[in-house]
Amino acid sequence: MTDRAGTSGTALPDPLTTPPDQGHLPEGLPPDASRRLAELEDRPGHKGMFTSDLSVNEFLLIKEVGFHPLGFVMGSSIYHLGIQTRKWSQSQELSKLTEAMYEARQLAMDRMDAEATELGADGVVGVRLDVNYYEFGSDTAEFIAVGTAVKAEDGRSYRNRQGKPFTSDLSGQDFWVLMQTGHVPLGLVMGTCVYHIAHRGLGQALRATGRNVELPNFTQALYEARELAMTRMQDEATELGASGIVGVRLEEKSHMWGGHTIEFLSLGTAVVKSDGDFTIPQPKTIISLDG
Amino acid sequence: MASTAGEELPEAASRRLAESAWTSGLSVADFASCLDMGMRPVGYVQGYAIMQWSWFLSTGGFGTPTGGIGGMLGGGWTAGPQRRGQYLEQWQCPHGFVSAEHRMYGANYELTWLEESWATGWGLAMARMVDEARGLGATGIVGVLDSMRPFVGGMTVEFRASGTAVVVDGAPTPASPFSTYLSGQRLAKLIEAGFAPVSVAATLSAVRMLGYCITHYQLAGANVGTWYGPSAGGVAGVGPVDQVNRAEAAARRLARERVRAQLGADILHGATLERSEREIGEGDLSIQCTLKGTRVRRFKDFDPLPDAAPVVRLT
Amino acid sequence: MTLGDEVRRAVSALAEAPAQVSTGEARGTTSDLTIDEMLLLHSAGWEPVDLVYGISWWSIPWGAWQWTTGEVQEASNAFAGAVDQAATQLRESCQHAGGSGVLGVEVGVRVSSHHVSIELTGTAVRRIGGAAHRFEFISDLSARDFVLLTRTGWWPLGLAAGASFVIAPRRSAREWAAQQGQNVELPNLTQALYLARERAMERMQRAGVTMKADGIVAVKLREGRASSNVRVIQFVAIGTGVHLREGEHRSVSPEMVVPLDDLVRQFDVKSLRASGGE
């Protein structure tokens, strides 16, 4: 990227004269990001500061379990999804698209992890994964991962088996409750599957029936898609050495592919039992006397 | 506020109110709350008024600088009908030349016609609602909703006020029923905290900003400094648009002062301040602010609550 | 006293002489707090004083949007200038009203092709029984968050805001043709938007550093089309700078509770049948 004289910061290359870029982003964080993160860290002669997108409630609960926020971290990737969806006659997974959706989110999350690592974080909480469509065209979207990097105040390392800070999409409240039960998060795990539902078969099936009857082929197809997504998510958890996954949810989106192609995205937080004895405190039961 | 004491209610309203089954605009939860407070709903009351509403008329028509051919170039011009004490600020072009495109004069002034029209319309609608409630022997009106919307035919608006009239058994009937935007739990807590609702209060302020040359160019995105050279008192491209900032501040200040004047020693509770803007032409804006709330009065001291205990609910 | 008794007492007070002599203390204050917020503030020893505001428009030269691609520096400068001016007005408005801080600030950001306008509206507050000595804070925290946070020793200082504006890039026909059918990241675009976000964050951080904050909480990152007629994406980061007084965080020690009700008001049906209500 060249800096144009007169503008501070990096200008986009002119698309008319610059050939399309086929390569990848350089390894490591761009200098602007490093600079922003450096400003947050405590150094001799420079007092650091934290930033966090946690609400006040979440901030206080994080502190309760002995973590301190370091900074808001983010990663993103603008991805071009190139396969044209066609009217396949069979219901099937569109594995190239699956790979693309996975890769795009993974890139975004890796960059967010890189920022968290640079801050010396033990983990990232409140992770949000979003997809934005601006005016890039119908087949391009921006995948974003944001969260708040945190560090344990007792000096213990909470980094996971891969040596990376744990990630979790649990809210501050859920994180607090999880820690009370004696479990710690290992990482945000995800599995995705882009499934195409056959056009011709569906039309025929609907015309042929007129009765209240199940369409077994399609039921089967959707089962398969969901199972694929969830299995992939579980595999990730196993790789991390987790004993379980909490806060699992399954999202189904068509993005911009039309109704016949759906992405099944399964997300959760992999957890493992922490060392040491934990007695789960007995929650108090209350009856609130107001609405 | 205009009063309709002595004026008869429209016939349709009298008929409806004479029927025995009462209607209420309250939700079930609010209704239950009312009963807990000892407020018995006795009817759904409303008031309407349709007013003439015209930007054209309110800006003084052809005689003012908006479109007048003779208005901009030299000579005098009028800033619309003046009322003593009304807000007015004027600006004059610092450049040394005159041209058809170059605005020599600019001003911020109150659109008093609009403000008075609003005050009359809102006041009439409210007063008629209160009259209906008085006819039912109500102690007060809760859950007031007020709205304003364009009416058919263009240059008219309809003001509407509605609420649920309630009777508090065992309490004296005040000369004028109280009114409040609140209902349900919020009203109950307000009273427990020691505040009695007096009436709803609202005002509209409207300020017109007629940009002079510099404002005009700033809003058009021109870098005045380079156009006229550094010696022409030019303004850099990025900078505060002073005339507009003063108009905005004036609109809010006027709204607040007017409401305060209605309050006496009372407090405006649950106030909402809304702002809207209308572009009449290039470099020609009008800014309105409405400030509404419930006027309340302290009737007792109350002990502060003990510190609330923080809890995390497991749902 | 039951609730019904209180209501009767309130109505009786109204029926007495309606016109009250204005005491020195109450000068017709205006507050946009709900009753819950007011009660919470009271329990912490604070009270609302008045509704206050600050608003500022800054112009942007038209050339800024046309000739450059990537980040539009003039727009971010205008944003920063407008925030600064609006915050100063808000502070003066508060001090004039006799408050020592502003809570619940709503931040309105409007961007058009030739200007940015920032509108701040909030409630000025002060300690009960004390005159305001010095100005303490501006914050978009609600009264509730304020009470909770200050209990643990963290105090708000001011609003930290930062923004960046990027012209939404379009791809050339050649780029498009070359990328047809490929699942690939677009590094140029990725870099551009990523950096724009980072810059918005960095500017917000700088505001935090200037006010000597220990941290910025409740950061909200808004992004989207800046306005309908300009092909610009805006990233606006706003949070409250906070400072840990006395150097140590005090624990809140929350209790875990399991509510045994659905959150619906229960009331005695018998009271509906009686015409009085009690």
For chain C, what is the mean pLDDT? 82
Q: Check CB contact under 8 Å for C63 and B237.
A: yes
Q: Check CB contact under 8 Å for C215 and A142.
A: no
Cα C229 from chain centre = 27
Going by C-alpha positions, the residue among B273, C202, C212, B100 that lies closest to residue A38 is C202
Going by C-alpha positions, the residue among B270, B265, B42, B296 that lies closest to residue C13 is B296
Q: Which residues pair with A245 in a beta bridge?
A: A270
Q: What is the 3-state secondary structure (H, E, C) of chain C?
A: CCHHHHHHHHHHHHHCCCCCCCCCCCCCCECCCCHHHHHHHHHCCEEEEEEEEEEEEEECCCHHHHHCCCECHHHHHHHHHHHHHHHHHHHHHHHHHCCCEEEEEEEEEEECCCEEEEEEEEEEEEECCCCCCCCCEECCCCHHHHHHHHHCCEEEEEEEEEEEEEECCCCCHHHHHHHCCCCEECHHHHHHHHHHHHHHHHHHHHHHHHCCCCEEEEEEEEEEEEECCEEEEEEEEEEEEEEEHHHCCCCCCCEEEEECCCCCCCCCCHHHHCCCCC
Chain C's closest residue to B256, CA to CA, is C30
- In this structure, how many other beta carbons lie within 10 angstroms of the beta carbon of residue A289? 8
Residues 6+ apart with CB under 8 A from A164: A113, A117, A187
Identify all chain C residues contacting A76, using CB atoms and an 8 Å cutoff. Answer: 190, 193-194, 197
Q: Which of A173, A290, A291 sits opposite B312 (nearest CB)?
A: A173
Chain A's closest residue to C177, CA to CA, is A20
pLDDT higher than threshold 50 for residue C22: no
pLDDT tens-digit readout, C98-127: 899 999 999 999 988 788 999 999 999 999
Predicted pLDDT of residue B2: 34
Q: Check CB contact under 8 Å for A283 and B185.
A: no
Name the H helices within A209-282: 216-240
Q: Check CB contact under 8 Å for B139 and C31.
A: no
Mutate which: C201, C238, C244, vs A, most A CBs within 10 A = C201
Q: Check CB contact under 8 Å for B238 and C60.
A: yes
Q: Check CB contact under 8 Å for A142 and C182.
A: no
DSSP secondary structure letter of residue A191: E
Predicted pLDDT of residue C116: 92
Average pLDDT over residues B168-182: 90
Q: Check CB contact under 8 Å for B270 and C32.
A: yes
- Contact present, C228 and C205 (Cβ < 8 Å): no
Measure in Å the smallest separation between the Cα of B4 and chain A Cα atoms.
Answer: 40
Identify all chain B residues contacting C40, using CB atoms and an 8 Å cutoff. Answer: 305, 308
Predicted pLDDT of residue A87: 63
Identify all chain A residues contacting B36, using CB atoms and an 8 Å cutoff. Answer: none
- In this structure, how many other beta carbons lie within 10 angstroms of the beta carbon of residue B24? 19
Measure in Å the smallest separation between the Cα of A68 and chain B Cα atoms.
Answer: 19
CA atoms within 13 A on the CB side of B132: 31
Q: Which residues pair with C119 in a beta bridge?
A: C55, C108
Going by C-alpha positions, the residue among B148, B139, B207, B150 that lies closest to residue B178 is B139
Q: Which of A20, A33, A56 sits opposite C218 (nearest CB)?
A: A56
Looking at the complex, does the CB of residue A177 fall below 8 Å from at least one CB of chain B? yes
Q: Check CB contact under 8 Å for A291 and B29.
A: yes
Going by C-alpha positions, the residue among C184, C232, C192 that lies closest to residue A20 is C184
Euclidean distance between CA atoms B220 and C140, whole angstroms: 32
Q: Check CB contact under 8 Å for A284 and C255.
A: yes
Looking at the complex, does the CB of residue C204 fall below 8 Å from at least one CB of chain A? yes
Mutate which: B33, B34, B36, B312, vs A, most A CBs within 10 A = B312
Q: Which of A176, A290, A291 sits opposite B312 (nearest CB)?
A: A176
Helix/strand number for chain B, H first, E second: 8, 11
Mutate which: C191, C242, C243, C267, vs A, most A CBs within 10 A = C191
Euclidean distance between CA atoms B143 and B145, whole angstroms: 6
Measure in Å the smallest separation between the Cα of A230 and chain C Cα atoms.
Answer: 23
Tell me the pLDDT band of B79, cut-offs 50, 70 and 90. Answer: very low
Q: Check CB contact under 8 Å for C59 and B218.
A: yes
Q: Check CB contact under 8 Å for B172 and C42.
A: no
A–B CB contacts, 8 A cutoff, strictly below: 11
Higher pLDDT, A20 or C81: C81
Chain A's closest residue to C182, CA to CA, is A82
Q: Check CB contact under 8 Å for B312 and A61.
A: yes
Q: Where are the beta strands (DSSP E) in chain A?
A: 50-51, 67-80, 92-93, 123-132, 140-152, 166-167, 183-196, 244-253, 261-273, 284-286
Identify all chain A residues contacting B185, using CB atoms and an 8 Å cutoff. Answer: 290-291
Q: Which residues pair with A152 in a beta bridge?
A: A67
Long-range residue pairs from A4-8, CB within 8 A, at least 24 positions apart, any chain: A4/C68, A7/C68, A7/C70, A7/C71, A7/C73, A8/C73
**SS3 label, residue B164:** strand
Looking at the complex, does the CB of residue A61 fall below 8 Å from at least one CB of chain B? yes
Euclidean distance between CA atoms B220 and B214, whole angstroms: 10
Measure in Å the smallest separation between the Cα of A88 and chain C Cα atoms.
Answer: 17
pLDDT in 10s for each residue of chain A, 291 residues: 333 333 333 444 443 444 444 444 556 777 778 888 888 888 888 788 999 999 888 898 899 889 999 999 999 998 888 666 566 677 788 888 898 899 999 999 999 999 999 999 999 999 999 988 776 666 788 899 999 999 998 888 888 777 889 999 888 888 888 888 888 899 999 999 998 887 655 666 666 666 666 777 777 778 888 999 999 999 999 998 899 999 888 898 888 777 778 899 999 999 998 876 666 666 676 665 554
Query: In what order do the strands lie in the sheet containing B88-92?
Result: B88-92, B105-110, B195-210, B284-298, B267-281
Euclidean distance between CA atoms B257 and C30, whole angstroms: 10
Identify all chain B residues contacting C274, using CB atoms and an 8 Å cutoff. Answer: none
Measure in Å the smallest separation between the Cα of A233 and chain C Cα atoms.
Answer: 22
Q: Check CB contact under 8 Å for A39 and C223.
A: no
Mutate which: A8, A25, A49, A77, vs C, most C CBs within 10 A = A49
Identify all chain A residues contacting B311, using CB atoms and an 8 Å cutoff. Answer: 286
Which range is least confidently modeled, A65-69, B194-198, C168-172? Answer: C168-172
Looking at the complex, does the CB of residue C244 fall below 8 Å from at least one CB of chain A? no
DSSP A116-140: HHHTT-SEEEEEEEEEE--SS-TTE
pLDDT higher than threshold 50 for residue C264: no
Residues 125-154 of C with CB under 8 A from A: 141, 145, 148-149, 152
Q: Check CB contact under 8 Å for C255 and B297.
A: no
ipTM above 0.85, yes or no: no
Q: Check CB contact under 8 Å for C184 and A22.
A: yes
pLDDT tens-digit readout, C188-210: 778 888 888 999 999 999 999 99
Mutate which: B198, B238, B258, vs C, most C CBs within 10 A = B238
For chain B, what is the mean pLDDT? 79
φ and ψ at A260, to 5 degrees?
-85, -10
3-state DSSP percent of chain A in helix, strand and coil, to 5 = 30, 30, 40
Q: Check CB contact under 8 Å for B265 and C27.
A: yes
For residue B220, is it left (φ>0), alpha (ψ between -120 and 50) or beta? alpha
Chain A's closest residue to B29, CA to CA, is A291
**SS3 label, residue A262:** strand
Average pLDDT over residues C78-93: 95
Looking at the complex, does the CB of residue A281 fall below 8 Å from at least one CB of chain B? no
Q: Per-residue b/e over B60-92, b at no fewer than 16 CB within 10 Å?
A: beeebbbeeeebbeeeebebbeeeeeebeeebe
Q: Check CB contact under 8 Å for A177 and B314.
A: yes
Q: Which residue has the tokens 């006293």?
A: C1
DSSP secondary structure letter of residue B9: P
Q: Is residue B40 within a helix (H) or strand (E), and if so which, with residue range?
A: strand B39-52
Euclidean distance between CA atoms B133 and B43, whole angstroms: 8
Looking at the complex, does the CB of residue A288 fall below 8 Å from at least one CB of chain B? no
Q: Which of B185, B310, B314 sits opposite A283 (nearest CB)?
A: B314
For residue B80, is it left (φ>0), alpha (ψ between -120 and 50) or beta? left
pLDDT higher than threshold 80 for residue B289: yes
pLDDT tens-digit readout, B91-128: 888 877 667 677 788 899 998 888 998 999 999 999 99
Which subunits have 3 or more CB–CB pairs within 8 Å of chain B? A, C
**SS3 label, residue B276:** strand
Higher pLDDT, C243 or B155: C243
pLDDT higher than threshold 60 for residue C178: yes
Euclidean distance between CA atoms C200 and A54, whole angstroms: 18
Mutate which: C33, C42, C57, vs B, most B CBs within 10 A = C57
